[in-house]
């Protein structure tokens, strides 16, 4: 909406503001493309990790059934953990236009000595290894899900800002600039008519 009388300086200021808003829109549009590409890459990684988790779950189910058949529920519940199976989190990350994308995995960690099994069996050992693999697969997938959530949140925020500039701010600036330009043209025509009339009277 126009404020005050139309002037050339106000029109110039509006045109400059338009250019700034157009540059901002172009930046946000480019950011949307970058985020969309990152989401697609992370989604492909997520699908791969999800397939790995499903495979680990199938292997864990089969290993658990075999171990229960060998030791029974009670026998398996007191089977000691693997002395080398204590796990810790290893994290790394990269930044994409201010968004942190994490990679997390379970790695061996120091642990206290554990007594050996009284009745060891290949089935129990396979079950133990299968659950470790399942935990590793789930950890990697959880990090990927977190990345997707952060990327989607930023993408939606950026789209809203770009749409606001494109659909609201820029059209309002264009209308205001056009109105001022029209008023200035009218003033110039009136001034020209006044000058011609004044010359005729002289």
pLDDT interval class at 1 (50, 70, 90): very low
Percent of the chain with pLDDT over 90: 59
Note the residue count of the chain: 202
Phi and psi (nearest 5°) for 10? Answer: -65, -40
In the chain, which residue ranges form alpha helices assigned H by DSSP? 8-77, 122-164, 170-201
Whole-structure pTM value: 0.78
Q: Which residues of 25-44 are buried (b: 16+ CB within 10 A; e: fewer)?
A: beebeebbeebeebbeebee
Tell me the pLDDT of the chain averaged across its residues. 88
Predicted confidence (pLDDT) per residue in 69-120, tens digit: 999 999 888 888 776 567 788 899 999 988 999 999 988 777 666 677 788 8
87: helix, strand or coil: strand
Strand pairing report for 99-108 and 87-96 = antiparallel
Residue 5 has pLDDT above 80, yes or no: no
Domains of the chain: 8-195 (1.10.287.3240)
Phi and psi (nearest 5°) for 102? Answer: -100, 150
* Token pair of 89 as six digits: 């989190």
């Amino acid at each position: 909406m126009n404020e005050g009388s139309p002037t050339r300086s106000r029109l110039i200021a509006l045109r400059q503001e338009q250019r700034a808003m157009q540059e901002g829109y172009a930046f946000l549009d480019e950011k949307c493309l970058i985020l969309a590409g990152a989401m697609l890459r992370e989604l492909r990684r997520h699908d791969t990790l999800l397939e790995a988790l499903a495979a680990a779950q199938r292997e864990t189910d089969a290993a658990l059934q075999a171990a229960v058949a060998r030791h029974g529920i009670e026998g398996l519940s007191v089977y000691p953990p693997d002395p080398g199976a204590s796990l810790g989190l290893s994290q790394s990350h990269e930044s994409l236009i201010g968004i942190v994308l994490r990679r997390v995995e379970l790695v061996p960690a120091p642990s206290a000595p554990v007594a050996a099994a009284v009745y060891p069996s290949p089935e129990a050992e396979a079950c133990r290894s299968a659950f470790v693999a399942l935990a590793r697969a789930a950890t990697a997938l959880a990090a990927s899900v977190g990345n997707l959530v952060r990327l989607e949140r930023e993408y939606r925020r950026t789209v809203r800002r770009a749409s606001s500039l494109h659909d609201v701010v820029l059209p309002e600036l264009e209308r205001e600039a056009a109105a001022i330009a029209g008023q200035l043209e009218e003033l110039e025509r009136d001034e020209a008519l006044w000058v011609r009339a004044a010359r005729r009277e002289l």
